[in-house]
Amino acid sequence: MIVLFDANPLVAAPFHDPWWQVLSRSRGDWNIELYIPEVSLLEVTARAERRADERIAKLKALSSEFPEVEGFAEALDRLRTEREGIEGELREKAAAIGATIVPPPDVPHLEMVRRQTARKPPCKPSGDGNRDTLNWLTVLRTGVDHSKRQIVWVSDDKDFKSDKGKLHPALLKEAADAGLGDRLLFFTSVEALVQHLLEERGLPKDPEGARLAMAAGKVQDYLVNTVFATGIAARDEVASFDVLIHPKRDSIRIGEATRETDGSELWPFAFTFAAMSGTGGQRTVIECDVEGRVTVSPDGTPVDAFISSVRQRPPSLLQVFGKVLTAFSQTRNGDRDINQLIAESQGQMQAELRAVSAIEDHLQEEIQQRVDQHKCDNAPEDPAPGR
């Protein structure tokens, strides 16, 4: 999916808006690219510059009215500097959320004149509408250049809409003629777009609820890829078990996160790990309740994990009954000596305890190796010698 934005949704919902943050954080997982047409960016820049000019004019008037008050000159210099940096700041903010600034297509002047004289939407009845037309042609070109991608146009401009608030029928036809057809979606705001995407994925339709749900999913994925990426069976103490049951992603329980002063979050988790060997009454089963936490960076990326406890669950009544019944049958038939069974039972208990300890060691070591590798992969390269 490629999403393009008109100027008005950028003004209505600045880049720090919660809906933008959901879109920015999810674009990689949802395979979404964000495009801001150069025309839209220049229009937003011009609006911001006009507002800055108004503030400067008001401040100059006040400085003339109250010349005895100090600080006006410094404040005016600051406002002028801020005004000069508006476009650069907008470009930096767009880049920070992962958006790409795209230039308009190279359209012959006569083609633009034809559209204006024919009052072809999104031109206004007066014939004005060069900026809207360039944006629309940018949408069409994007759809043609990316013939297998869904294209989304976000605009609340009445010249793009029909009386019912949908995309204008003439624009729908032009899009279909260009090969976009059902690939083109239209929304009037960033909020409407994000709510549609959240509903498609069964996520809460409010920014904070969606953020928490997606973060919890990333924590589950991180644990699956970090804790269970390699088999615990490689350890000698666990090698005797026939079956190792790793928890499924959705069975990992995620608690409520706490926020740290640096903006990162600590997400508690819990899951159950099981191992089995033997059959029938001779089956040995251990179940371990594992608890810990995952550190999630301010940008929503899990970066670290810690196992706080691994506790062995007591055997179920069914397991105990099976062992007792087997032992009773063996001693009654004279097949086994009761003292021998007791010794074997004690040895089995010690083996289970060693296995639990091995599981805990493995989880901690495996996580640390993965975290170290992650840090190594993302470390900045050393500068060349002599620089």
Amino acid 320: pLDDT: 45
The answer on 303 and 190 residing in a single domain is no
Kindly state whether residue 383 falls inside one of the protein's structural domains.
Answer: no
Q: Which of 230, 216, 229, 224 is nearest to 265 (CA)?
A: 216
The H or E element containing residue 23 is helix 18-26
Residue 155 shares a structural domain with residue 41: yes
**Judgement on whether residues 165 and 223 belong to the same structural domain of the protein:** no
In this structure, are 196 and 260 located in the same domain?
A: no
Same domain, 227 and 185: no
Res 319: pLDDT? 47
> Do 231 and 353 share a structural domain?
yes
Q: What's the sign of the alpha-carbon dihedral 226, 229, 230, 232?
A: positive
Q: Is residue 74 part of a domain?
A: yes
Percent of the chain with pLDDT over 70: 73
Kindly list the distances between the CA atom of residue 145 and the CA atoms of 138, 140, 151, 188, 285, in Å, as whole numbers in the listed order: 10, 9, 11, 24, 58
DSSP of 349-360? HHHHHHHHHHHH
The pLDDT tens digits of the residues spanning 6-63 come to 999 998 878 888 999 899 988 988 999 999 999 999 999 999 999 999 999 999 888 8
106 and 219 fall within a common domain = no
| End-to-end Cα spacing for the chain | 43
What pLDDT, on the 0 to 100 scale, is given for residue 360? 60
Report whether pLDDT(185) > 70: yes
pLDDT in tens, 197-226: 999 999 998 888 888 888 888 899 888 877
pTM: 0.72
8 and 84, same domain (yes or no)? yes
Same domain, 297 and 236: yes
Q: Residue 207 domain-assigned? A: no
In a domain, 208, yes or no: no
With a CB cutoff of 8 Å and minimum separation 6, the contacts of 194 are 19, 22, 23, 207, 210
Identify which of 215, 141, 153 has the alpha carbon closest to the alpha carbon of residue 184.
153
Q: pLDDT confidence of 236, banded at 50, 70, 90?
A: very low
Kindly state whether residues 242 and 336 are assigned to the same domain.
yes
Q: Which domain-ending residue is among 137, 168, 200?
A: 200
Please tell me whether residues 159 and 222 are part of one structural domain. no
- Whether 143 maps to a domain, the answer reads yes
348 occurs within a structural domain? yes
Residue-level pLDDT at 351: 58
DSSP for 44-57, please give it: HHHHHHHHHHHHHH
Report yes or no on 193 lying in a domain: yes
Confidence of residue 375 (pLDDT cuts 50, 70, 90): low
**What are residue 245's DSSP bridge partners?**
274
| 68 is a domain residue | yes
Same domain, 62 and 125: yes
Final residue in a domain of this structure, among 200, 234, 264: 200
Query: Average model confidence (pLDDT) for the chain?
Result: 81
Residue 85 belongs to domain spanning: 2-200
Find the angle CA(136)-CA(141)-CA(147) to the nearest 5 degrees.
Answer: 125
Mean pLDDT of 238-257: 74
Confidence grade of residue 380 (pLDDT, cut at 50, 70, 90): low
Quick: pLDDT tens for 279-332.
444 556 677 788 889 999 888 888 888 878 777 776 554 444 445 445 555 555
**DSSP of 285-303, one letter per residue?**
EEEEEEEEEEEE-TTS-EE
Out of 4-8, 48-52, 110-114, 376-380, least confident range: 376-380
Residue 305, Ramachandran bin (φ over 0: left; ψ between -120 and 50: alpha; else beta): beta
- The secondary structure of residue 271, as a DSSP letter, is E
pLDDT range class, residue 88, cuts 50, 70, 90: very high
Number of domains in the chain: 2
